Chains A and B, each alone.
Chain A
């Protein structure tokens, strides 16, 4: 049963991955990415890591790809791409070579190493327990062993958000072309607030 689920979802993951690189249309590529991420969520479920599976769906499928699609629709870059000409000459050949090299290396390790490469430990951060659910375990580990890393990540994300806001705030005088006055510039203030400024 576990093997059957693995094979099906692995096929979905691979097909999705192929779709991402070979689709002419960026939106189709994004859709293939969703298939890949879903397949990975199913793989997580198959391993009994249900929290990871749901987080995978909520964060990657439900937020990140939505944002990617959103930006594509907003910017109107959803045109068909020309896949025949290579932007960088020799890029594809090189990518193929590196891919083959990786495959060869992995096969070599598996063939030479035999059983020795599999450590046999299913979990490195905390012992698996049949009674405590892995949600509790992940929570406990995050807020005890890895609390420093967690806090640093939180800080990093805050810095990223603040940075994004600062970058997107354009001071008016630095703008080379004056933007047309639009409704949105006024916010939700009543329009009568504007003439007062000129009156002084």
Chain B
């Protein structure tokens, strides 16, 4: 079973215990995702209302923590409307196409395990050694890219099948935006893969574990890849999630409610849940790629628990950042969004990959580091200058009215 990757659980003989452990992991991940999504919705509403000097949800449960559950139950009992002009089959299919990738995306995220003091993050359950992640395929992070590229379908088909104007505009916007930012997303993942030398998410976390530079600066990809891919990934992931400030898709003032305008009851809830679930998963993937996932020092008690704690802490940090950005940064204009994606993020991450690759080749071939970096910087600046000149020329010609 080499296909399912490096997890030691699946490398030996597969007996009943192994199957049970896999089922247990599936149930745990499923439950974790649902609970995390529920809490994320509550967290976002609560933090946003704090930012706006409101109280926010406060009735259901302590601090209103059960508000999402109450909303969910309400959605279940609401009437399910299908508009007359909707394309029935596709209309029903679309929310499912959004939710399924959102669930699958989390399967490759390592969410625990002891990575301190040279441990490899494996734990013992019922006498079997395994990683605390649902699957560790050799293709690893590519699977995440595949799932996020499939997520476009739900949005796209929802808008189209509604048979209504605004959802269609919203979904065309969404798909254009998601397709454009996928390139930047993939390129910054490339930088991480280049640095760690593996696609497997467990391998990526392993490469970032350990005490790191000077004994206290962690060996995170955030630093090893030189910050730029991290920033690109963070921006692109927000655009990919259609979150503010890139929520052109759901600009209420222009588009009513975007692609899910015509949806009601549980079908709407599925879109809603998928959106927040994607935020949670994206935070988890950012943590895995750039901040060492569950890697961190184990203080006291079992080491694997500390892995889970570090992972949750880092993830919550990012989720707070998402909400913070949402409540403080105004929405960008559509042309600004496209310009940022195509003219800034993609060239930047491409150039950065070239620089990183040069750096690694130089280390392998024992070239003079200083000269290599200098030549790399000169080439990079020349490329930047050319791009700038090209954009300036096209703008000038557009203003002159020579071309459209």
Q: Which of the 9-residue segments B18-26, B39-47, B53-61, B168-176 touches chain A?
A: B168-176
By beta carbon, the residue of chain A nearest B152 is: A66
11 A-B pairs, CB-CB below 8 angstroms? A45-B3, A50-B138, A58-B142, A61-B146, A62-B152, A66-B175, A69-B160, A70-B156, A70-B176, A171-B402, A189-B395
Mostly, the B contact residues are helix
Q: How far is A76 from B325 in the complex, measured between Cα atoms in Å?
A: 36
What 12 additional pairs, Cβ within 8 angstroms, besides A70-B172, A130-B2?
Answer: A25-B87, A27-B90, A31-B157, A48-B3, A51-B142, A54-B142, A73-B156, A133-B138, A170-B404, A172-B401, A184-B335, A187-B399
Is B255 in contact with chain A by the CB < 8 A criterion? Answer: no
B159 to chain A, nearest CB (A): 8
Residues of B near any A CB (own CB < 8 A) = 2-3, 87, 89-90, 93, 137-139, 142-143, 145-146, 149-150, 152-153, 156-157, 160, 168, 171-172, 175-176, 179, 182, 199, 333, 335-336, 339, 395, 398-404
Q: How far is A69 from B153 in the complex, measured between Cα atoms in Å?
A: 9
Q: Which of B3, B145, B335, B402 has the most CB of A within 10 A?
A: B3
Is A77 in contact with chain B by the CB < 8 A criterion? Answer: no
Question: Given A48-B3, A50-B138, A170-B404, A58–B145 Cβ distance below 8 Å?
Answer: yes
Q: Do residues B404 and A31 form an inter-chain contact, with CB atoms below 8 A?
A: no
Q: Do residues A135 and B3 form an inter-chain contact, with CB atoms below 8 A?
A: no
Mostly, the A contact residues are helix
B332 to chain A, nearest CB (A): 11
Q: Do residues A50 and B175 form an inter-chain contact, with CB atoms below 8 A?
A: no
* Chain A contacts for B336, CB-based, 8 A: 188
Interface positions of A from 28 to 58, Cβ below 8 Å from B: 28, 31, 34, 45, 48, 50-51, 53-55, 57-58
Question: Given A34-B153, A58-B149, A50–B3 Cβ distance below 8 Å?
Answer: yes
Q: How far is A66 from B143 in the complex, measured between Cα atoms in Å?
A: 18
* Chain B contacts for A57, CB-based, 8 A: 146, 149-150
* Chain A contacts for B199, CB-based, 8 A: 135
Q: Which of A28, A34, A70, A185 has the most CB of B within 10 A?
A: A70
* Chain A contacts for B175, CB-based, 8 A: 66, 69-70
Q: Do residues A61 and B149 form an inter-chain contact, with CB atoms below 8 A?
A: yes
* Chain A contacts for B139, CB-based, 8 A: 50-51, 53-54, 135
Question: Given A50-B138, A54-B146, A66–B3 Cβ distance below 8 Å?
Answer: no
